[in-house]
Amino acid sequence: MNSYLVRKDSGIYNVLQCLVLVPTRELAQQVAQVADQFGETSRVRNVCVYGGAPKGPQIRDIERGKPHVDVVS
C-alpha cells in the first residue's frame, strides 16, 4: 500500500480514513476549509491536494500533517 496512505509513527499506524474527490480546485479548497473547522474539535486533520500547483509542497503537507482526510481535485 502507498506509504502516504499508511504510516507507522511511534509504533502506531496512522491510516488515511477518508478521500474526498471534487471536480475543481476551488471546491477542494472550500471543502478543506470546512474540514478544518470541524477538525478543530474532533482532532481530525486534513490536507488539500490539487493539480496545477507544485507537487513538493503538497507532498510535504501530507507527510507533516499526517491527515485523516485528503481533499483532492
- What's the whole-model pTM score? 0.72
Task: Give the pLDDT of residue 28.
Answer: 93
pLDDT in tens, 35-62: 999 888 888 888 898 999 899 998 888 8
Sheet containing strand 18-21, strands side by side: 18-21, 69-72, 46-49
